[in-house]
């Protein structure tokens, strides 16, 4: 069947229907397919003329139209009925097909609201509406923390929070809540100590740092608490005393760690040297330190022979050469000068001074290593490094340099 | 005063989309015959044709918001729905060949004379029997093209085929219908 034939059929039908032509007149125009065209035209016209036979009755059309409009209006009334909020929201998202946009909007709104609530809750103190959220968030943070070290750090943060809350409550004169918060503080400190014990089973150096950190925090607050005791109601003094006691326990713990986990002997050797040179070319002045070991080496070996315990620390001399180069840029300088004096007192001084000295400076160094270290731009003083080199003659001197160095180094060691 | 029948399909559709039931009623009145013919020519009885016609328009009302002209006339849109309604019907009840029911012989119009009524009913019976002997797609193309007067392109849209395929199908369907009618005529003799 050609295209020409189809066009002839279509135009033929149109002309015949319009009344201007007949089948015969059309067929004569297309002699090539006259017979076939005639047959097709006859059937098509017969069907077209039969169209009315298949029409619906006028009654049906009228009644059906009425029924249709009635149904449509019923549906409209049903949908126009007051909807619940849930239905409205559902309809909005389904009918408007804005589900994805709506989802994003709801999510953003949720984030904004929750973010606002969370940030506001951080400033709340006991008795505030948002305080429950603050404590819940703390519990969530603990629950979601994976490593014991992180748990301990969080616990220390919570101790700080409790102490801040105590101060805020006292300022506002809400002494009823102060007692409860002090009790919470005490519990929080014990929890932290337990966690530090757990950490110490995995990493003693890290545990020592955490203990020192906690001790520092409590040491600064202790004096404030003692001052508060004098001005606050009598019933609070008992709770405050308990917090002071627990802070003393923390202090002892930190000192124990400082004694039993002091030397930098084991941790630094391999990792630190590798790091320093890669990071800063300056450490290359290691030649200077290399001179140091030469001098100290003879003296330390002499003193260990005096004390039986310290010989275990004999590696110290070996360490001083290694560790000094690594830390020479930042920490060593600050520490070494301070530690120099104790070198005169071999045993007793070390225990006292190490704790005090580190509490002031070293803890800041590890926690804020990036920012705080630079300040020791006092390093110019350390440039007196020659002094320390002389000091090593006393075994205690190494004890300090290591402890402070290890404050930074142990945290570094796990990383490699 | 502006009447509904003064408006074009396009304007009525816009009003219907806005929820104007009367505008949709006007559309119904304009196209109900074509929809009914399409259904009746392919169903066993007029009762089903009437029920399905109403269903087609209800479905059309519910989906009129989705209707975009884009070259598909509203009648083609309605006939596509009618075709789907038929397909659903066949799936549920199975396809059975046309049977001439008593309604084809009964009176539908009280005005004509009894002799005319008989003549009309015979003709209707003849055409329905003839179409009923054909394949579904032949019936469909013939109804769309010559009973509903759709263009080859519109027919192609309803049948979801190419225009060329519709032309070929139409040609074969006419040949098949003619043959069937001749056979029927011979049987009568």
Summarize pLDDT for A255-311 with one digit per residue, the tens. 888 777 665 544 444 444 444 444 444 444 444 444 444 444 444 444 444 444 444
What local confidence, expressed as pLDDT, does residue B56 receive? 96
> What does each C-alpha distance from A301 to A234, A260, A307 come to in angstroms?
57, 21, 11
- Once rounded to an integer, what is the mean pLDDT over residues B18-22? 90
Write the pLDDT tens digit of every residue in A39-66.
889 999 988 888 888 899 999 999 999 9
Nearest to A374 by CA among A331, A404, A324: A331
Neighbours of B125 (CB within 10 A): 15
Mutation to test the A interface, candidates B146, B164, B172, B178, most A Cβ within 10 Å: B146
What local confidence, expressed as pLDDT, does residue A308 receive? 42
What local confidence, expressed as pLDDT, does residue B96 receive? 55
What local confidence, expressed as pLDDT, does residue A99 receive? 62
Q: How confident is the model at residue B115 (pLDDT cuts 50, 70, 90)?
A: low
CB of B178 less than 8 A from some CB of A: yes
CB of B22 less than 8 A from some CB of A: yes
Neighbours of B101 (CB within 10 A): 14
Q: How confident is the model at residue B52 (pLDDT cuts 50, 70, 90)?
A: very high
CB of A61 less than 8 A from some CB of B: yes
Say if residues A240 and A222 touch (Cβ distance below 8 Å): no
What local confidence, expressed as pLDDT, does residue B35 receive? 96
- Once rounded to an integer, what is the mean pLDDT over residues B156-177? 92
Q: Which of A6, A61, A71 sits opposite B29 (nearest CB)?
A: A61
CA B136 – CA B173 distance, rounded (Å): 10
- B39 pLDDT higher than 90: yes
- B33 pLDDT higher than 90: yes
CB of A96 less than 8 A from some CB of B: no
Chain B residues whose beta carbon lies within 8 Å of the beta carbon of residue A68: 24-25, 28, 54, 57-58, 61
Say if residues A269 and A405 touch (Cβ distance below 8 Å): no
Q: Is A50 close to B109, i.e. CB distance below 8 A?
A: no
| pLDDT < 50: residue spans in chain A | 265-416
Say if residues A269 and A319 touch (Cβ distance below 8 Å): yes
In sign, the C-alpha dihedral spanning A97, A98, A100, A102 is negative
Q: Which residues of A366-384 are buried (b: 16+ CB within 10 A; e: fewer)?
A: bbebeebbeebeebeebee
What local confidence, expressed as pLDDT, does residue A81 receive? 65
What's the predicted TM-score (pTM) here?
0.44
For chain B, what percent of residues have pLDDT higher than 90? 47
What local confidence, expressed as pLDDT, does residue A171 receive? 80
Q: Is B124 close to A54, i.e. CB distance below 8 A?
A: yes
In B, minimum Cα distance to A49 occurs at B147
**Structural tokens at position A300:** 């330390």
Neighbours of B3 (CB within 10 A): 7
In B, minimum Cα distance to A71 occurs at B58
B184 DSSP assignment: H
What local confidence, expressed as pLDDT, does residue A193 receive? 87
Q: Is A61 close to B32, i.e. CB distance below 8 A?
A: yes
Q: Which residues of B115-124 are buried (b: 16+ CB within 10 A; e: fewer)?
A: eebeebbeeb
Q: Is B29 close to A50, i.e. CB distance below 8 A?
A: no
Q: How confident is the model at residue B113 (pLDDT cuts 50, 70, 90)?
A: low
What local confidence, expressed as pLDDT, does residue B85 receive? 93
Closest CA–CA distance from residue A85 to any residue of chain B (Å): 23
């Amino acid at each position: 069947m050609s295209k020409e034939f189809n066009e002839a059929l279509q135009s033929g039908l149109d002309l015949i229907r319009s009344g201007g032509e007949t089948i015969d007149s059309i067929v004569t125009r297309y002699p090539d397919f006259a017979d076939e065209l005639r047959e097709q035209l006859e059937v098509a016209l017969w069907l077209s003329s039969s169209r009315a036979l298949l029409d619906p009755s006028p009654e049906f059309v009228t009644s059906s139209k009425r029924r249709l409009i009635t149904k449509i209006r019923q549906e409209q009334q049903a949908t126009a009925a007051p909807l619940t909020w849930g239905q409205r929201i559902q309809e909005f998202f389904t009918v408007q097909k804005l589900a994805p946009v709506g989802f994003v909007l709801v999510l953003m709104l949720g984030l904004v609201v929750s973010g606002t609530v969370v940030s506001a809750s951080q400033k709340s103190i006991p008795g505030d509406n948002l305080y429950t959220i603050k404590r819940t968030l703390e519990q969530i943070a603990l629950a979601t923390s994976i490593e014991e070290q992180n748990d301990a750090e969080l616990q220390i943060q919570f101790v700080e929070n409790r102490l801040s809350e105590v101060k805020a409550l006292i300022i506002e004169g809400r002494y009823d809540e102060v007692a409860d918060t002090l009790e919470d503080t005490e519990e929080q400190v014990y929890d932290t100590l337990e966690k530090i014990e757990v950490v110490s089973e995995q990493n003693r150096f890290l545990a020592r740092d955490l203990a020192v950190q906690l001790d520092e925090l409590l040491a600064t607050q202790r004096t404030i608490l003692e001052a508060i005791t004098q001005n606050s109601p009598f019933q609070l003094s008992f709770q405050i005393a308990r917090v002071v006691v627990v802070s003393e326990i923390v202090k002892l713990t930190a000192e124990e760690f400082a004694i039993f986990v002091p030397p930098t002997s084991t941790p630094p050797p391999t990792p630190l040297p590798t790091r320093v040179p890669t990071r800063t070319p300056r450490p290359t002045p290691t030649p200077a330190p290399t001179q140091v070991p030469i001098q100290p080496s003879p003296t330390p070996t002499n003193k260990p022979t005096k004390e039986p315990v310290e010989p275990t620390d004999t590696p110290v001399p070996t360490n001083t050469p290694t560790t000094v180069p690594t830390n020479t840029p930042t920490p060593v300088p600050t520490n070494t000068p301070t530690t120099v004096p104790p070198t005169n007192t071999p045993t007793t001084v070390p225990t006292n001074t190490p704790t005090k000295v580190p509490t002031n400076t070293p803890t800041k160094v590890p926690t804020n290593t990036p920012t705080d270290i630079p300040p020791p731009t006092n390093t110019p003083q350390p440039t007196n490094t020659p002094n320390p080199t002389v000091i090593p003659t006393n075994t205690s001197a190494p004890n300090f340099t290591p402890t402070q160095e290890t404050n930074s180094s142990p945290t570094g060691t796990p990383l490699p | 005063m502006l009447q509904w029948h003064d408006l074009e399909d396009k304007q009525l559709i816009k009003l219907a989309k806005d929820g104007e039931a009367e505008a949709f009623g006007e559309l119904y009145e304009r196209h109900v015959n074509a929809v009914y013919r399409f259904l009746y020519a392919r169903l066993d009885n007029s009762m089903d044709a009437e029920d399905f016609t109403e269903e087609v328009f209800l479905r059309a009302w519910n989906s009129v918001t989705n209707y975009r002209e884009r070259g598909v006339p509203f009648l083609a849109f309605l006939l596509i729905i009618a075709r789907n309604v038929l397909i659903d019907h066949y799936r549920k009840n199975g396809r059975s060949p046309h049977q001439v029911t008593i309604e084809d012989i009964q009176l539908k119009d009280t005005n004509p004379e009894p002799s005319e009524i008989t003549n009309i009913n015979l003709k209707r019976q003849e055409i329905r029997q003839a179409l009923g002997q054909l394949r579904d797609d032949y019936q469909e193309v013939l109804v769309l093209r010559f009973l509903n007067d759709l263009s080859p392109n519109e027919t192609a849209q309803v049948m979801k085929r190419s225009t060329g395929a519709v032309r070929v199908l139409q040609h074969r369907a006419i040949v098949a219908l003619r043959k069937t009618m001749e056979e029927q005529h011979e049987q009568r003799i």
